[in-house]
Amino acid sequence: MVGRAHGLPRNRGLAPRKTAARSGPGQGRPWAHPTDGLFVADDPSLAPGVARVLRRLPPLAGAPIRIGRAPGLRGRYGASHAGTLLRDRRILFDCAPAEFPRIFVHEVFHFVWLRAGNAARRSFGQLLASEIEGGVSGELGWSAELRKGKLTAADRRNRTRPWREYCCESFCDTAAWLYSGVERHDEFTLAKRCRKTRGQWFDRMLGGRQIPI
């Protein structure tokens, strides 16, 4: 690894059960995609998978992001599926092909979060806080779930760094659930009604416009 990378931890032993189209927010839309050249694959074998996932995503715009492979990736929480270098605009993957769509969307949405603005980040945080205050457990990915499990009420109240990191990971995991095309996964543990509310939030905040990354 070069420089400081965000890492997406692996939850060992869990795997996607099925990849299929899902009806619901963010799925199956006829988006226009001015994304040619947005992702530059250092490893050409990644390109077809990227093209397939991009068809599911809202339109993105920004400077090119390089993607490649890096076997043996490790992050703060051990072995990682991927690492993102936001400033270098690079994403490195070390994941099974079946996991690639979910991991790719998660990592791309780190760039979205960075540029989403304080109002959107605060709004998503309020949605998460209301879930927790309502006694909702579960998440839409291990990265968010492991952070959620360590939070205190004071973290939430004071919007501490662990709280903000949780909000970021939950945002990326929610995007991965929404846009990757993976219908079911052992890491999708959030209650169905909360999934729907999150999907509506994404539609309201990000729907129908080009997203800067």
**Span interacting with Zn ion, options 4-12, 16-24, 37-45, 205-213, rule CB under 5 A:** 4-12
Single out the residue of 60, 167, 172, 182 in contact with Zn ion (rule: CB under 5 A): 172
Sort 76 into a burial class: Cβ within 10 Å, 0-12 / 13-18 / 19+: exposed
Q: For the CB of residue 141, give the shortest distance to Zn ion in the complex, in Å.
A: 8
Q: For the CB of residue 168, give the shortest distance to Zn ion in the complex, in Å.
A: 7
**Span interacting with Zn ion, options 44-52, 121-129, 135-143, 175-183, rule CB under 5 A:** 135-143
Q: For the CB of residue 28, give the shortest distance to Zn ion in the complex, in Å.
A: 25
Helices (H) and strands (E) in the chain, counts: 7, 10
Q: Which is nearer to Zn ion, 4 or 18 (CB)?
A: 4
Q: For the CB of residue 165, give the shortest distance to Zn ion in the complex, in Å.
A: 9
82 contacts Zn ion (rule: CB under 5 A): no
CA 150-1-13 angle, to 5 degrees, is 50
- The rounded distance, in Å, linking the Cα atoms of 180 and 28 is 11
Q: Which is nearer to Zn ion, 39 or 171 (CB)?
A: 171
46 contacts Zn ion (rule: CB under 5 A): no
176 contacts Zn ion (rule: CB under 5 A): no
Decide: helix, strand or coil at residue 76. coil
Decide: helix, strand or coil at residue 151. coil
117: left (phi over 0), alpha (psi -120 to 50) or beta: left
